[in-house]
């Protein structure tokens, strides 16, 4: 069962699966509500969680913390 966006914590790392893409992300800061600035740990790019989910959540959507 995927984590809710409200449960994300700054400084923690997560694995996000959506629309066939698998991303390793780190939460940098909370912007507002359930929007976060995140760092993609594979490409080292910064963007928001809403940019990743702007096209919706697919059948394979999963969000889990990893160490």
**Per-residue pLDDT reduced to its tens digit, 2-51:** 888 888 999 999 999 998 899 999 999 999 888 999 999 999 999 999 99
Question: What pLDDT sits at residue 3?
Answer: 87
Separation of alpha carbons 46 and 3, rounded Å: 21
Measured between alpha carbons, how far is residue 20 from residues 5, 6, 12, 31, 61 in Å? 19, 23, 23, 26, 9
Comparing C-alpha atoms, which of 39, 57, 56, 59 is closest to residue 48? 39
Long-range contacts of 33-36 (CB under 8 A, 24+ apart): 34/5, 34/6, 36/5, 36/8, 36/10
Question: Domain residues of the chain, as ranges?
Answer: 5-65
């Amino acid at each position: 069962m995927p984590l809710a966006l409200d449960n994300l914590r700054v400084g923690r790392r997560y694995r996000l699966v959506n629309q066939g893409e698998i991303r390793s992300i780190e939460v940098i800061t909370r912007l507002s509500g359930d929007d976060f600035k995140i760092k993609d740990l594979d490409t080292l790019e910064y963007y928001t969680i809403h940019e990743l989910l702007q096209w919706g959540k697919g059948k394979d959507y999963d969000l889990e913390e990893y160490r």
